[in-house]
């Protein structure tokens, strides 16, 4: 059972976070180095170029960074500028000058003296000073820090001095946000929590149920951080989860950090947004809804850009993520009205894309027949998002065409349009779904070499959502499972589990695939039938998800065939036949016809079986479905032999199929294992033998 991340103990005594608005000890050290550079008093001429490059890089990096180096890291960089022992002189000079700021007044005097390198004035001492341009990298940085410092209260400046002294004396470890969240082996950890190993927040998939309790160490909070750093960190986490569906930080650790941060900085409302997204990662609906409402309650209370349409969009996305399709549609349709009132084309494109996706989940025919107009705004920042949404729409169209059985030229034309658009504008996160669709397309058309090539290309993509990545690994595993290469299939599942343990622990589809392959490798395993039954019931309770619903019914029929309950199997196939004819699932219709025909063949009703197989052959050809076509052709050849001993028709079917079936396999080993290839040659030998003997 899923365990909420809210139940982890929060009431633990830990060190407080000292907050500043912008200025941190690292920024003060950068200011001092820039000040000394402008006065030509610390850096020897031979290392000035290297020092300037380092300072520029750190200033620019600091704009978006949520982490900062400790003082020793700065010294280590300075030591690389020249050879020993000359390099130590610069480091010791900087160390002594930084330590020379011993009192709050000393820091105040230093910040005030920065005016010397910002404004040109008469210098009676004759000291050469470089004046910073107000629009330069250094000039903007110095001005911003100086204004921030002098706008602070006396108490705030005293706090800045305290953390500065702790930094330069290295008496307190400067814990950046990143190290706080990722260093689980810290010797000073004081937070502990207990998690069930099967819990989605434990991050470790298990093959069998284990009741052992695992102690998860969590990092001690403390030190200092600026509000600017917190904002950058929260923004990065929100964008990462929105783009990929996951983060570089486990859900448990991120939750612990956010809980403590909320206690120490309750005024930072972006925390609610990240908590909302983190709850979606762990599949906790109530927590996600609660934090989403809190975040937008804050957004509505602030003046500025209207955000009501974004609130409805996020609510629609939330409902869609948890499978509440109709509730999602209500929110998204309201979001369309609000976005039009605000004339926000970028948000409108996003809403339309989600409506298309949600309606497609309710009714697959929507994706095939309906069109979505993605408009491109005049602003350059809106162009990329519009092209991304349009490319995803094209991929969905291609998938619908493949399902319906459109000509290959139209399918590939749609795919090429998507790829060219995304490539021309360097749009990310398209490569994985594009290669995944190409893999499915070539597999559908019966070319195993190209399908495997695109499968490998998709697996090598670094950018992609977690859902797409999981689907790709499952599809690769399924391909090898069908070919009888169970060890390879298991390898793909285990590779995904190693890369994404949290996602694996929460994925029913992964567990189903894992147990299915494990049942082949270890037939004594008894959990597969139980899990299959539970998932089948789940799929049958959601008939609006038409493809999953039809596939589950077909699996049920196949199960009854293996149990020799032919009457029940035939009843299921006949019941679903008309629904498949009314839908656009042409390949599933062909599979249905072929299995029905096999049941009639096994029961001696050859004439009926032949009629159904001829329909299956026509249907498979219409869908350009290579595997179902050749399978139906081989069974039809058998039917002709049994019905009228028509060796000419049977031989023609088998001879036409043999070279094409050979192309569907990449090597001789796969041909040997696949029953379709073996059956084809068996029939061919049988028919040739009949022809030669004249029977």
Chain segment 285-300, per-residue pLDDT in tens: 888 898 888 888 777 7
Of all residues in the chain, the percent with pLDDT exceeding 70 is 75
Q: Which of 12-16, 42-46, 137-141 has the highest mean pLDDT?
A: 137-141
pLDDT score for 680:
46
Q: Do strands 191-196 and 213-218 pair parallel, antiparallel, or not at all (unpaired)?
A: antiparallel
Domains and CATH numbers, the chain: 18-175 (no CATH), 228-237+245-460 (1.25.40), 465-541 (no CATH), 553-693 (1.25.40.10)
pLDDT over 90 (residue 491): yes
Structure tokens at 128: 């050469």
Strand partners, 191: 218
pLDDT score for 496:
92
Lowest mean pLDDT among 154-158, 520-524, 537-541: 537-541
pLDDT band for position 111 (cuts 50, 70, 90): very high
Look at 223 and 437; give whichever has higher pLDDT.
Answer: 437
- Please state, as a whole number, how many other Cβ atoms lie within 10 Å of the Cβ of residue 343: 8
| One-character DSSP codes across 389-440 | HHHHHHHHHHHHHHHHT--HHHHHHHHHHHHHHHHHTT-SS-HHHHHHHHHH
pLDDT (tens digit per residue) in 224-265? 777 877 888 888 888 888 888 888 888 888 888 888 778 777
Structure tokens at 301: 């209370």
pLDDT (tens digit per residue) in 71-104? 888 899 989 988 888 788 888 988 999 999 999 9
Strand partners, 18: 224
Of all residues in the chain, the percent with pLDDT exceeding 90 is 7
Q: By three-state DSSP, how is residue 18 classified?
A: strand
The model's pTM is 0.65
pLDDT (tens digit per residue) in 202-215? 333 333 333 333 33
**What is the Cα–Cα distance from 299 to 269, expressed in whole angstroms?**
9
Contact of 392 with 352, CB cutoff 8 Å: no
Lowest mean pLDDT among 17-21, 285-289, 386-390, 466-470: 17-21
**Average pLDDT of span 585-590:** 84
pLDDT band for position 184 (cuts 50, 70, 90): very low
Count how many Cα atoms sit within 13 Å of the Cα of residue 415 in the half-sphere of its side chain: 23
pLDDT over 70 (residue 186): no
pLDDT over 50 (residue 189): no
Q: Please say whether the dihedral angle defined by the alpha carbons of residues 368, 406, 461 and 427, taken in this order, is positive or negative.
A: negative
Structure-token match 């030998």, residue found: 685
Lowest mean pLDDT among 134-143, 202-211, 327-336: 202-211
What residues contact residue 43 under an 8 Å CB cut-off, 6+ apart? 36, 37, 51, 90
Q: Average pLDDT over the chain, rounded to whole?
A: 75
Q: Rounded to the nearest 10 degrees, what angle do helices 408-424 and 380-404 cross at?
A: 160
pLDDT over 60 (residue 589): yes
| One-character DSSP codes across 656-676 | HHHHHHHHT-SSHHHHHH-HH
Structure-token match 């989605």, residue found: 200
Structure tokens at 69: 């180096």
Q: Is the peptide bond before 582 cis (omega within 30 degrees of 0)?
A: no
pLDDT (tens digit per residue) in 10-26? 443 445 567 777 888 88
Q: By three-state DSSP, how is residue 181 classified?
A: helix
**What is the Cα–Cα distance from 269 to 307, expressed in whole angstroms?**
15
Look at 310 and 99; give whichever has higher pLDDT.
Answer: 99
pLDDT score for 199:
33
**Average pLDDT of span 181-201:** 35
Contact of 386 with 374, CB cutoff 8 Å: yes
Measured CA distances, 115 to 105, 107, 132, 157, 261 (Å): 16, 14, 10, 18, 36
**What is the Cα–Cα distance from 108 to 194, expressed in whole angstroms?**
47
pLDDT score for 30:
92
pLDDT score for 14:
45
**Average pLDDT of span 181-195:** 36
pLDDT score for 215:
36
**What is the Cα–Cα distance from 230 to 215, expressed in whole angstroms?**
28
pLDDT over 80 (residue 599): yes
What residues contact residue 70 under an 8 Å CB cut-off, 6+ apart? 167, 170, 173, 174
């Amino acid at each position: 059972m899923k365990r909420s991340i809210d139940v982890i103990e929060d009431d633990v005594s830990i060190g407080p976070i000292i907050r500043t608005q912008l200025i941190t000890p690292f920024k003060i050290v950068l200011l001092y180095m820039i000040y000394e550079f402008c006065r030509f008093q610390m850096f020897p001429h031979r290392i000035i170029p290297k020092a300037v490059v380092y300072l520029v890089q750190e200033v620019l990096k600091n704009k978006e960074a949520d982490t900062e180096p400790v003082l020793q890291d700065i010294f280590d960089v300075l030591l690389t500028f020249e050879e020993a022992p000359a390099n130590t002189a610069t480091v010791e000079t900087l160390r002594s000058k930084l330590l020379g700021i011993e009192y709050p007044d000393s820091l105040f005097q230093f910040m005030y003296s920065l005016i010397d390198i910002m404004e040109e004035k008469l210098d009676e001492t004759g000291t050469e000073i470089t004046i910073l341009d107000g629009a330069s990298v250094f000039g903007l940085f110095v001005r911003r820090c100086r204004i921030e410092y002098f706008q602070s209260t006396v108490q705030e400046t005293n706090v800045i001095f305290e953390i500065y002294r702790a930094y330069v004396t290295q008496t307190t470890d400067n814990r950046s946000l990143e190290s706080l969240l990722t260093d689980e082996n810290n010797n000073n950890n004081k937070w502990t929590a207990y998690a069930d190993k099967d819990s989605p927040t434990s991050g470790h998939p298990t093959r069998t149920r284990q009741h052992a309790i695992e102690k998860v160490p969590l990092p001690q909070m403390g030190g200092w951080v600026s509000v600017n750093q917190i904002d950058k960190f929260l923004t990065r986490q929100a964008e990462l989860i929105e783009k990929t569906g996951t983060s570089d930080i486990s859900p448990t650790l991120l939750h612990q950090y956010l809980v403590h941060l909320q206690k120490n900085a309750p005024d930072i409302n972006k925390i609610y947004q990240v908590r909302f997204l983190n709850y979606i990662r762990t599949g906790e609906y109530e927590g996600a809804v609660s934090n989403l409402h809190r975040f937008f309650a804050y957004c509505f209370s602030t003046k500025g850009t209207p955000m009501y349409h974004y609130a409805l969009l996020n609510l629609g996305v939330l409902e869609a993520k948890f499978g509440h399709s109709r509730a999602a549609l209500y929110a998204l349709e309201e979001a369309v009205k609000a976005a039009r009132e605000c004339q926000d084309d970028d948000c409108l494109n996003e809403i339309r894309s989600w409506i298309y996706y949600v309606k497609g989940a309710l009714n697959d025919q929507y994706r095939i027949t309906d069109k979505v107009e993605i408009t491109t705004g005049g602003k350059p920042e809106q162009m990329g998002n519009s092209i991304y949404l349009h490319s995803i729409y094209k991929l969905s169209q291609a998938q619908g065409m493949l399902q319906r059985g459109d000509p290959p030229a139209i399918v590939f034309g749609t795919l090429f349009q998507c790829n060219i658009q995304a490539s021309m504008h360097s749009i990310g996160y398209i490569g994985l779904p594009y290669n995944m669709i190409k893999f499915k397309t070539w597999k559908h058309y019966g070319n195993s070499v190209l399908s495997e090539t695109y499968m490998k290309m998709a697996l090598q993509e670094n950018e992609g959502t977690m859902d797409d990545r999981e689907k790709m690994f499952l599809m690769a595993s399924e391909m090898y499972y069908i070919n009888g290469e169970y060890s390879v299939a298991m390898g793909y599942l285990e590779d995904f589990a190693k890369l994404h343990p949290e996602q694996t622990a929460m994925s029913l589809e992964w567990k189903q695939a894992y147990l299915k392959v494990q049942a082949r490798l270890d037939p004594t395993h008894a959990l597969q039938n139980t899990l299959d039954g539970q998932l089948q019931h789940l799929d049958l309770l959601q008939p609006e998800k038409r493809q999953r619903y039809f596939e589950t019914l077909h699996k049920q029929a196949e199960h009854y065939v293996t149990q020799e309950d032919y009457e029940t199997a035939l009843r299921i196939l006949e019941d679903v036949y008309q629904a498949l004819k009314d839908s656009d699932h042409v390949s599933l219709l062909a599979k249905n016809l072929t299995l029905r025909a096999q049941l009639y063949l096994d029961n001696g009703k050859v004439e009926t079986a032949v009629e159904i197989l001829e329909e299956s052959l026509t249907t498979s050809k219409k869908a350009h479905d290579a595997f179902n076509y050749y399978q139906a052709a081989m069974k039809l050849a058998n039917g002709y032999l049994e019905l009228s001993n028509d060796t000419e028709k049977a031989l023609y079917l088998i001879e036409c199929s043999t070279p094409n079936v050979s192309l569907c396999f990449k090597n001789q080993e796969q041909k040997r294992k696949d029953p379709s290839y073996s059956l084809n040659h068996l029939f061919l030998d049988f028919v040739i033998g009949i022809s030669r003997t004249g029977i």
